[in-house]
Amino acid sequence: MDLLKQQYKLMQSARAALFSYGDTFTLAHFTEDLPMFGGNSIRSLWVHTANTYQFWLGNFAQQQEFPFIKPLFVANLNEVRRVFQEVNSLTEQFLQHFEEKWSEPITGEIPWRKINMQVTPLALFTHVITHECHHKGQIVSMSRQLGYTPPDTDLLRF
C-alpha cells in the first residue's frame, strides 16, 4: 500500500536524523551499558530494533532466514547503518509482498514463547515501526544521561 510506504519513509527520515546525531557519540558512550535502561547500551537498542524487523517481517511473515544479530558483533554506528540498509530492503520486500493482503492473517511460531500466533501483516508493520519509535526515544534519553543534547528526531521535525 502506497500509504504504508510513505509512512516507512517518514520512519527512515527520523532514523537518519538519529543516526546523524549518533555520529556525535564517542565509541565508549555508544557501547556503554546503562543501568537505568536495563543494562542496555545505545548500540544494543539499535541492534535489538533491527532484530525485531528481521524476525517479524522476515522470519515470521515471509519464512526467510535472518540470523539473530549480537550487539557485540556490531562495532560502530556505520555497521548499524549497514544493518538497517538490510532492514530497509526487507521492509520494502514485505510491503510489496503483502500489498493487497493487509488483513489476511499469518500464522507462525514464536520460538521464545514456544507458541503459534496469528497476526495480520498490517499489525506486524505497525508493531515494528512503533517499536522502533519507542527505542528511538530511549536512545535519545540515554544520550541525555550521557551528557549529550539531542536534536529533534521526531517523525515531524521542526
Give the residue ranges of the annotated binding site.
48, 131, 135
Reduced to 3 states (helix: H, G, I; strand: E, B; else coil), residue 103 is coil
Which of 19, 14, 32, 66 minimizes the C-alpha distance to 147? 32
Residue with cell 522470519: 59
Tell me the binding residues for a divalent metal cation: 48, 131, 135
- Which string of DSSP letters, residue by residue, matches 72-102? GG--SHHHHHHHHHHHHHHHHHHHHHTTT-T
CA torsion sign for 158, 2, 19, 112 is positive
